[in-house]
Chain A
Amino acid sequence: GDSVTQMEGPVTLSEEAFLTINCTYTATGYPSLFWYVQYPGEGLQLLLKATKADDKGSNKGFEATYRKETTSFHLEKGSVQVSDSAVYFCALSADYNTDKLIFGTGTRLQVFP
């Protein structure tokens, strides 16, 4: 079945460091891909999305490119801030079954000053 695999956390960085959180997926067809972020004590919120191959989603300095050939959607940011500390979830919605969103296990990011 369809699935999403994320790198284990926590990821610990100093402020202004470069961030990469890896995400790979398994799905037939052409799923839509998402990154959601969960700040402490809150629900998830959409960070960015991409709906077709080679699309780049971007928001708040974060970027991710939909790579069909490597089935990946890695999240990157050039310079992280303490306020970026959160849990990041990669997710997909299959093109043949749009009834559900399938989440990865989440990656906790901790940024220290």
Chain B
Amino acid sequence: EAQVTQNPRYLITVTGKKLTVTCSQNMNHEYMSWYRQDPGLGLRQIYYSMNVEVTDKGDVPEGYKVSRKEKRNFPLILESPSPNQTSLYFCASSLQGPNTEAFFGQGTRLTVV
């Protein structure tokens, strides 16, 4: 089954404790992206990757890191989480960029206390 898998689905952590949210897709898509969803703000792009070893900042990259060592995986790293990073996070992939259909993971609800 074609899918984007994120883990964990829910996470509560403390300020400053490094964490990683994993994202994996099984569709051989070139483009992958991370978004955060906040009430009244819609989805905002954090980082994206056009292909392996190619990543770039989206609209809200501060406090986040990503890597793309393999085509299927695109982890999101919070080196020192802060309460303002409490949000719902989505990973998405598409065949060749956002002009093609984006497939989203089920989301990771992160709470930083």
Contact = CB atoms under 8 A, between A and B. Distances in A.
B63 interface: no
A98 B98 contact: yes
Given A32-B99, A44-B102, A46-B102, A103 B42 contact: yes
Nearest to B43: A103
Interface residues of B, number: 26
A77 B86 CA distance: 35
Interface of B: 4, 33, 35, 40-45, 48, 50, 56, 58-59, 90, 92, 97-99, 101-107
- Kindly list the 6 A-B residue pairs having the minimum CB-CB distance in the complex, ordered from nearest: A43-B104, A101-B98, A105-B42, A103-B43, A103-B42, A44-B104
13 contacts: A43-B92, A43-B107, A44-B90, A45-B103, A46-B102, A51-B99, A99-B48, A99-B50, A100-B48, A103-B43, A104-B42, A105-B41, A106-B43
